[in-house]
Amino acid sequence: MDISRRNLLRQVATGAVATMVVPSLAEASLGAEPRISLSEIPGQSCVAIRLNRNENAYGPSARAIAAMQEALTLANRHSEAYAEALQSKIAALYRVEPEQVVLGCGSSAVMRMAVNAFVRPGKKLIIALPTFDLIGNFAQRAGGDVTAVGLTKDYSHNLDAMLGRTDDATRLVYICNPNNPTGSLTRRRDIEEFVRSLPPTTYVLIDEAYYHYVNHSTDYASFLDRQLDDDRVIVVRSFSKIYGLAGLRVGYAVAARPTARLLASYRLPEEVNIVAAKAALTALDDAEHIAMSVRRNADDRQEFFNQAYARMLPAIDSHTNFVMVKAARPATEVVEHFKRNNITLPLPFASFDDHIRVSMGKSVEMREFWRVWDLMPHKMAM
């Protein structure tokens, strides 16, 4: 049975789709699996299904787990040798010098370094609205000004408007691409033109946490894979997403030497512990796990779109491991409904208070999500 988005919408129009979980592609060909209660999900007996943090639901690779186990025997040692090895491996991967790589306790630590380096009272950070707002929180705590600029109609960064809000006080611009929470892309050539138009004292931090989930095209290319010769560009990556190491907290920035040195001056000693460093070293080489995670996510994301469109729920086209859908009523009510049913969703996002962002979970978790969705009263669910 071919279940495409178009077929699902046609079935909805003819009344063929009832208010129950629509069979997945696998179920359509193999027969529906029996519904599994939350208590039957391994490790989930009394814990909410977490669809709020954009984690890799399938976890780290077996090789990375083995590396962690081995690293535990080295817990009596400091981590600098392994952190330096990780720094060198990342540098070789992107054909830069090791001193151009700055490691942090998650990409959030690198963002904190950037704020400490560039934003202070009287200086400005420009971000999108909505976006991953942790860097904005850092800037506010540092006493800096934060200017938030709404997205365009296609959910890309409104770079023209951001440029229009740039002045002599602007020291840092944050671009999350693909953007969190919308999952949308901003075109590479537009970002390049934007960078060239900025004042020479304004730096740009490009967050590529979700880089691996993007189908690459002329509209998108990583600023690490195709580097821009500009000392003001800082590219940030994370081991929390595709590599499945969110709990270990490993992130890094790649920048020009003087910029990297400035960032590193605000880095805490040994920010990356020995277990995290060894796991990240192994994960970088595990191409099979990366490819599998990308493939699974693409299938899970398509299945989510199928289910959303079957219920006539508008969804923003996503290039990540999450999808944002319009809930047709205040998102706070939807989030609370799922909370009562032991599923955790993130709180609503600024200017998107009738949307919810849903991280991709395993198939059993997503079936539970849609079952709980269909428990909502009709006026809430549709």
* Residue where one domain finishes, among candidates 285, 315, 344: 285
Report the candidate in 274, 232, 279 with the shortest Cα–Cα distance to residue 253. 232
Same domain, 68 and 172: yes
Rounded Cα distance, 237 and 258, in Å: 19
Please report, in tens digits, the pLDDT of each residue of the chain (382 residues total): 344 444 443 343 333 333 344 444 333 333 333 344 444 445 444 568 999 999 999 999 999 999 999 999 999 999 999 999 999 999 999 999 999 999 999 999 999 999 999 999 999 999 999 999 999 999 999 999 999 999 999 999 999 999 999 999 999 999 999 999 999 999 999 999 999 999 999 999 999 999 999 987 888 999 999 999 999 999 999 999 999 999 999 999 999 999 999 999 999 988 999 999 999 999 999 999 999 999 999 999 999 999 999 999 999 999 999 999 999 899 999 999 999 999 999 999 989 999 999 999 999 999 999 999 999 986 654 4
Other CB atoms closer than 10 Å to residue 171's CB: what's the count?
23
Asked if residue 281 is part of any domain, the answer here is yes
* Residue where one domain finishes, among candidates 234, 264, 285: 285
**What is the model's pLDDT at position 19?**
38
Same domain, 191 and 103: yes
Task: Give the DSSP letter of residue 100.
Answer: G
Rounded Cα distance, 47 and 50, in Å: 8
Could you please report the per-residue DSSP string of 32-90?
PPPP--GGGSTT-SSS-EE-SS---TT-S-HHHHHHHHHHHTTTTS-SHHHHHHHHHHH
**What is the model's pLDDT at position 114?**
98
Query: Distances in Å between the alpha carbon of 99 and those of 198, 233, 253, 262, 285?
Result: 26, 15, 11, 11, 21
Rounded Cα distance, 8 and 370, in Å: 15
Same domain, 193 and 329: no
**What is the model's pLDDT at position 80?**
92
Same domain, 226 and 296: no
Same domain, 217 and 298: no
Same domain, 175 and 247: yes
The torsion of the CA quartet 213, 209, 159, 184, rounded to 10 degrees, works out to 30
Asked if residue 190 is part of any domain, the answer here is yes
CATH code, domain with 33: 3.90.1150.10
Q: Is the dihedral of CA 139, 141, 146, 151 positive or negative?
A: positive
**What is the model's pLDDT at position 46?**
52
Query: Distances in Å between the alpha carbon of 345 and those of 26, 183, 325, 331, 355?
Result: 26, 16, 12, 10, 11
Same domain, 183 and 206: yes
Q: Is the dihedral of CA 159, 164, 166, 168 positive or negative?
A: positive
Asked if residue 57 is part of any domain, the answer here is no
Q: Which residue has the tokens 């440029």?
A: 163
CATH code, domain with 115: 3.40.640.10
Asked if residue 260 is part of any domain, the answer here is yes
Same domain, 177 and 269: yes
Number of domains into which the chain is organized: 2
Strand, helix or coil at 102?
Answer: strand
Domain of residue 238 covers 62-285
Same domain, 42 and 121: no
* Residue where one domain finishes, among candidates 285, 303, 329: 285
Asked if residue 56 is part of any domain, the answer here is no
Rounded Cα distance, 334 and 339, in Å: 9
Same domain, 229 and 376: no
Asked if residue 275 is part of any domain, the answer here is yes
Same domain, 306 and 267: no
Other CB atoms closer than 10 Å to residue 354's CB: what's the count?
15
Same domain, 122 and 142: yes
Rounded Cα distance, 54 and 374, in Å: 23
Asked if residue 240 is part of any domain, the answer here is yes
Asked if residue 322 is part of any domain, the answer here is yes
Rounded Cα distance, 320 and 190, in Å: 20
